[in-house]
Amino acid sequence: MKYLGIEPQKPKIAVFDFTGCEGCQLQLLNKEETLADFLSAVEIVCFREASSLCSDDYDIAIVEGAVSRNDEVKRLEKIRETAKVVVALGSCACFGGVNRLKNEFDLKAANKEVYGKDPKETINVRPVKDIIPVDIEIPGCPVSKAEVESLICHVVWDSPFQLPVYPVCVECKQRFTTCLFDIGQMCLGPITRAGCNAPCPAGGIGCWGCRGPAVEPNYKSFFAIVKEKGFSDIELKERLNFFGAFGEVNVS
C-alpha cells in the first residue's frame, strides 16, 4: 500500500503470547474489511496464530497476556532487549486481566488441590509493565482492532494515536442505551476508559471495567452512587478486581 505514491517503510512486527486466552491475537486477524490493508502496512515476522515462521529480527513486539511463570519473566526480558517498541496488547498484558484473580488464593494450596502430586510451577500474576518497560498499552478484553490499526498508522505514518480519555458512559449515551443502574444493575461505565463503544451495557450487562480506568475517574462520586443504588462494598470490590485494572482503589 502506497501513501502519496511512496512505498512506506514497513515495521517488522512480532506477536508474542503469554498467560491469556489468545483472544487479543485473534482480533489482529479479525475484521476482514481492513485485514489486507493492515497486513500490507507491516511485515509480520513472528505470529504463532498466523504463521509457522518466526524471526528474532523485529522492531515492534506486541505482547499479549500476563506473566504467571518464571520462564515468562526471562522470555519477556529477552523480547525487551530485541524490540525498539514494546506494546502491551489487551487487559491481561496491561493489568494482569482475569488471570489476576488467582492472586487472591494461596498458590501452594491451590496447586496441591488442583494438580495433587504433580504441582505446576506458578507465580503471582503480574502485568507486563511490572517486568519490563512498556512503550504503549492497548487495553480491552479483547482489544479493539480499530485501536490496533490506529497504532499501526501511528508507527508507519506518524498519524496521531490517542486512547479515549473519557469514560464508557459517553459511548453508551451515544448509543441511546438505557442506563443499567436504572434497572437495578451495577456498571463500571462511569470510571472506565471508553473505546469499546459500550457493547456490554447495550447487551444488557453492566461494564466490568476491562479497559481500565478513564483519565481522572471520579471515584468518590461513583462509589457514592453505587452505595445509593443499594450495592455493597463486596459487590463493588468484586467488580473492580475482576480484570485487576483498578489497583488498590479504596472503596470506602
Using the rule CB under 6 A, is 65 a contact of ligand SF4?
yes
SS3 29: helix
Q: How far is the CB of 197 from ligand SF4 (least distance, A)?
A: 8
Q: Is 4 exposed, middle or buried (0-12, 13-18, 19+ CB in 10 A)?
A: exposed
Binding region for ligand SF4 (CB under 6 A) out of 8-16, 40-48, 193-201, 244-252: 193-201
Using the rule CB under 6 A, is 199 a contact of ligand SF4?
yes
Cβ proximity to ligand SF4, 46 vs 245, nearer residue: 245
Using the rule CB under 6 A, is 164 a contact of ligand SF4?
no
Contacts (Cβ under 8 Å, ≥6 apart) of 193: 139, 163, 164, 165, 166, 167, 168, 211, 212, 213, 214, 215
Among residue numbers 89 through 108, which ones bind ligand SF4 (CB under 6 A)?
90-92, 97-98
Query: Looking at beta carbons, which pairs linking 219-227 to residues 24 or more positions away fall under 8 Å?
Result: 219/191, 219/249, 221/190, 222/190, 222/191, 223/251, 223/252, 225/181, 225/190, 226/186
Which residue type, as a one-letter code, is found at position 233? Answer: D
Residue 162: DSSP 8-state: -
Binding region for ligand SF4 (CB under 6 A) out of 15-23, 102-110, 113-121, 148-156: 15-23
Cβ proximity to ligand SF4, 136 vs 156, nearer residue: 136
Which of 63, 151, 200, 240: binder of ligand SF4 (CB under 6 A)?
200
CA gap 68, 125 in Å, rounded: 5
Q: How far is the CB of 88 from ligand SF4 (least distance, A)?
A: 10
What does the binding site for ligand SF4 look like in residue numbers (CB under 6 A)?
A: 20-24, 64-65, 90-92, 97-98, 141-142, 168-169, 172-173, 177, 179-181, 187, 189-190, 192, 196, 198-201, 207-211
